[in-house]
Structure 1
Amino acid sequence: MELFWVRGGADEVVASVADWLSADPAPPAVVETSGSTGAPKRVVLPRAAVLASVRASAERLGATGPWVLALPATFVAGLQVVVRSLVAGHRPTLLERDGWPEGEGWFVSLVPTQLRRMLTDPVDVAALRRAHTVLLGGGPIGASLRESAERAGVHVVATYGSAETAGGCVYDGVPLDGVAVALGEGGRIRIAGPTLFTGYDGDPTATAEVLRDGWFQTSDAGRIDADGRLEVIGRVDDVIVSGGLNVPGPAVAERLRTHPGLAAAEVLGVPDPEWGRRVVAFVVPAPPGPAPGLEELRDWVGATEPRAWAPRSLVVLDDIPLLGNGKPDRQALLALAGQQVRP
């Protein structure tokens, strides 16, 4: 089967995507997952699925227009920025080369780490205030980050999705039109609708494991709140079973990020002979530093969350290692846990 491989630099991707959008017929596109928890998968997306996502997104946002490309164009979020901008009749602005556009009413997609850093830069904040919408996805979006954006006057819409769903398909907890969301065993999120992929290239076994009867079985756990909105708790494997207790790593990390002495924080579980898995905090001190000590951070977590959730080890870093798409590099963090842990 002929495939359209989304590869190359930003300019090359923009040109090839423009050709793909006008092709008749068009082969399915292939984008790779980030590989944050292992080897990347090659996701096969029909053009109809990508365009269904583009249309539903525009309808939900209530507008179309030019987009700023601030993410790698070869990942699904970057591909969607390119497609949305081209469909709206605009070549996307490449942030790294061209900087922020003048005027108002444009759109941009970011991951939480990017937005957190941009909110500390007055130039970035001034630009983001001019955006119609900042789509924020690709990782847990805590209340503190949303509140910081609101205080700065930046309009943020939190998205949830993956390469397998042609990008974000749930906006601020509400599925896009045509998208269905359900919870399976253990709260595992299931998604159906016109934006789904057709499989993993060259891996029918992996495809069969997650694509069943028209539903995509995600690796994330969630719950439906009182308003009927989907709340993403985190990856199923983000729940750290430590000493027989289920510790939600993303919730602990979000609490740590509110500490005034920290600029960034992530939480993972590492193997431990006593606890099964030990809760480890990876933190970046806020200037001028140094980082708070472990006991202070344990007390900070315990002030609002169960004390048993508090980290038992601490790794202090100059920065959180990131993948090419801006997400935390979990494998790199786990490797660092074996070298720099402060019990």
Structure 2
Amino acid sequence: EIVRAAGPGLVVTDPGRTEAGARLARASAVRHVVLPDLNDTPEGYPGGPSAEARAPLAEAPDEADPCVIVFTGSGRPRGVVLSHRVCVLRTHPGCRPDAGTVLVCGFPPGHWSAWAALLRQWQARGTAVLLERPDPVAICAAVRGHRAERLVCAPETWAGVLDTAPHHLASLRFADAEAIGPPAAGPRLLEDIRTATPHARVRAFLTAPETGDVAVLDHADARRRPESCGLPAPGTEARVAGGELSVRGPLLFGGYFGDKRATDAALRDGWFRTGWPAAADADGHLRVYDGGEVPPRLRDD
């Protein structure tokens, strides 16, 4: 479904996925290229780029040009278009200040949060540890083995990590629970993470492919405001209208690939409609509700 929606001109795989790549390429009528294994390179294979590869591009790319398309959603996938500029701004070290750390990523390599984490570490000149299968056992072993200072996981993954080997997390200085849409990490989970990582700064992030980080909540605020998912993230402006959360700012996506109708419905006057039921406190703290949960002030609407 994703290959069909993307309409690619080229499918690239490693040797281990040659058969699957060829099958996708045939179904899409595009060229298929298999990257050579660096540990099994034939003799005489050039060690550096060719003259053609070193030649300057005929037309320099613009920062507004698409950098990556993230496919998301159930059923028919939608391609979230992210420009070079948006990718840089979302992963700037000032957004999540933890420069120079060793990060263990609790998201699988194909997940868009893993992509963002990798770019974030590259910009901060830190080290990123990606796991082929980031289950709780592998995550705990990676944190201990690399003496990682930072771990980012989805809330449900964090729960498994804490049940597996919390004593392996002693080196952490940043513990991030990143929820892809509501519900955000709850105060009880953040308290459990804090207990297991007493020297770490514990934070909950609410995020989405279309928006990047929407809200950030520190552990201390979670204690005082158990219903809050935090304040709007740096670079993000939020508002609640008609009980729905909308956001705008330089981190927003550029639209849905090949779907103008969906883009026009989601982006209005520079605001992205998340579709999340929400409420806002007077001091800017956001409360986002999930599924059948209805904000108290909307029950009569």
Residue 142 of structure 2: aligned partner: 100
Residue 47 of structure 1: aligned partner: 84
Residue 222 of structure 1 and its aligned partner are, at CA, apart by 1.6
Q: Is the 8 A contact 1:34 1:75 kept in 2?
A: no
Aligned length: 222
Residue 47 of structure 1 and its aligned partner are, at CA, apart by 1.5
Q: Is the 8 A contact 2:245 2:274 kept in 1?
A: yes
| Greater C-alpha Rg | 2
Please, which of 165, 175, 187 is the counterpart of residue 143 of structure 1?
Answer: 187
Structure 1 position 168 matched with structure 2 position 213 = yes
1:49-68 to 2 correspondence within 5 Å? 49-55=86-92, 58-65=93-100, 66-68=102-104
Distance 1:3 1:162, change over 3 A: farther
Distance 2:271 2:261 in 1: 16
| Structure 1 unaligned residues grouped into runs of 5+ | 16-22, 241-245, 249-343
Residue 87 of structure 1 and its aligned partner are, at CA, apart by 1.8
Please, which of 235, 254, 258 is the counterpart of residue 202 of structure 1?
Answer: 258
- Cα-to-partner distance string for 1:150-169 (whole Å, 9 max, x where unaligned): 2222542111120001x323
Q: Is the 8 A contact 1:6 1:74 kept in 2?
A: no
Distance 1:126 1:223 in 2: 38
Residue 225 of structure 1 and its aligned partner are, at CA, apart by 3.0
Residue 127 of structure 1 and its aligned partner are, at CA, apart by 3.6
- Cα-to-partner distance string for 1:73-131 (whole Å, 9 max, x where unaligned): 33321110111122223452123478414465633321111001111112xx2343422
Q: Which amino acid aligns with 2:214?
A: C
Q: Is the 8 A contact 2:66 2:82 kept in 1?
A: no
Residue 227 of structure 1 and its aligned partner are, at CA, apart by 4.1
Residue 7 of structure 1 and its aligned partner are, at CA, apart by 8.8
1:1-16 to 2 correspondence within 5 Å? none
Distance 1:239 1:208, change over 3 A: same
Distance 1:47 1:74, change over 3 A: farther
Residue 83 of structure 1: aligned partner: 119
| Structure 2 unaligned residues grouped into runs of 5+ | 1-5, 18-34, 36-56, 218-229, 297-301
Distance 1:47 1:2, change over 3 A: farther
What's the TM-score once normalised by structure 2's chain length? Answer: 0.63
Q: Which amino acid aligns with 2:273?
A: Q
Q: CA RMSD in A?
A: 3.4
- Cα-to-partner distance string for 1:185-232 (whole Å, 9 max, x where unaligned): 1x2111101110011011111111111111100021222235421122
Distance 1:179 1:6, change over 3 A: farther
Q: Which amino acid aligns with 1:214?
A: G
Identity rate, percent:
27
